[in-house]
Amino acid sequence: MTRTLNPTKEVRGSITVGGDKSIAHRVVLISLLSQQPIDILNFPDNADCLASLNAVQALGVQVEHQDDRVRLQPPASISVPVDTIIDCGNSGTTARLLAGIIAGSNLEVTLAGDESLQSRPMQRIIDPLTAMGAEFFADDGHLPMRIRGNKLLPFEYTLPVASAQVKSAIMLAALASGCSVTVRETVAARDHTEIMLEAIGEGITRRKITPVPVPDPVDPRRKRMQMPEPFKREISLSAQAKINGGTVNIPGDFSTAAYFFAAAAIARGRVEVRNVGLNPTRTAFLDYLKMCGCTVNIANKTVVSGETRGDVTVTGAKLSSRKIVAGNTVNLIDELPIVAVVAAFAEGTTLIRDAAELKLKESDRLASVSENLTLMGVKHGLLEDGLAIEGGRDFSGADFKSCGDHRIAMAFSVASLFLIGPSSIEDDEIVRVSCPNFYELLDEIAR
């Protein structure tokens, strides 16, 4: 369905967004390995998370929807026919994390998905899980993918690139098989899996490597700081690690909140998102907005189920451009489409580099962003690993393309609020992948 979008005069309001998608996936999939039931508060009713819920049901988890929670009753054991096919829909998180659990279980299961998911790379999990002892049968590292689980070997692995999904797949494989594992990160990725294992399980240890003073080789009278290890973080699971069960209260999804913060930033308005997740690996977008000139206030900060949350208010201002490279790009990877939209309205030229990973998402997000910026009339360059965007104002309304990608649809729906004349977005229902009520929330703050 194509939706017409009109410019707004003011952006202001206070909203609550649905539960964090990344956390929801993990608690649902981990329920397969739990010794006791798990109760989920604030479960997000989006298509991606429902794919995980349907997957664990197919493997024996009993799902009960209660008034304020979803209760997951794990099976005594997982046993399914060898011709079982699990449909992961559009969800790469479902496919990659579930692959880890199957790899460490006595199962033979095929994972499938929609056309978009079939185009996304799975080799990044196949390689380490195969090294642990699982068997994979896949066409050039893509879905559909048949997995034959085994009793896995103890494993140590340094992630070649920052990837929370690869890290999580390895840890869940070890948890399912009852073997020890150590994962090391040279660039810190999201740590929701580790936090959850600590909150409702046991047997996990984490070590953060920090620089230490050593004698300067040029002048021994001086000291210089040096990393004692060639990595930044180390996560270990013992062979006795387990999931005990319990209650997980999911905070609001920060990546969803980012679209509404961006609207406030561009409009020089003010938006509050209540009870939103503030995991430090997720909130780089707030730092970006502050560097661009916005004011960010956080109230009622607390920790629930191991995850930090609070009420965040962003007040917009005249925006200035900023360079986004290396670690900043990694920390903003999900928000880069909306970063590009903010950059279009910022003074100066924004350079985004080291973002080649965006080519492997639900769409080639670099190309999708570029196509829609062109429709707006924004001067920009599409680079091999990023974008160069010349900011300005007075762009024309356009018929935007969602490109089958929820984040592209939401980003350019926000952009449409500040264009001259009406715009449209085709396939607006794609936002159901992460935020089914996105347009209702947008209506609440755009006045």
Residue bearing tokens 């018929």: 399
Euclidean distance between CA atoms 174 and 57, whole angstroms: 22
Q: How far apart are the first and last CA of the chain?
A: 24
DSSP alpha helix (H) spans, 183-253: 192-200
Instruction: Return the number of other C-beta atoms located less than 10 Å from residue 68's C-beta.
Output: 8
Tokens 């594992």 belong to 181
List strand residue ranges (DSSP E) for 254-358, in order.
270-277, 295-304, 307-315, 349-352
Give the active site residue among 20, 39, 253, 334: 334
Q: 3-class SS at 86?
A: strand
Instruction: Measure the CA–CA gap between 32 and 361, rounded to whole angstroms.
Output: 27
* Cα gap 248→43, rounded to integer Å: 9
Return phi, psi of residue 212, to 5°. Answer: -125, 150
For 324-385, list the strands marked E by DSSP: 349-352, 380-383
Report the alpha-carbon distance of residue 203 to residue 221 in Å, rounded: 43
β-strands 85-87, 108-112 pairing: parallel
- What is the secondary structure of 395-445 as a DSSP string? PBP-EE--TT-HHHHHHHHHHHTTSBS-EEESSGGGGGGT-TTHHHHHHHH
Does residue 334 have an active-site annotation?
Answer: yes
Q: Report the alpha-carbon distance of residue 288 to residue 298 in Å, rounded.
A: 15
Identify whether the C-beta of residue 144 lies closer than 8 Å to the C-beta of residue 109. no
Pairwise CA distance, residues 170 & 243, whole Å: 16
**Residues with catalytic annotation?**
334
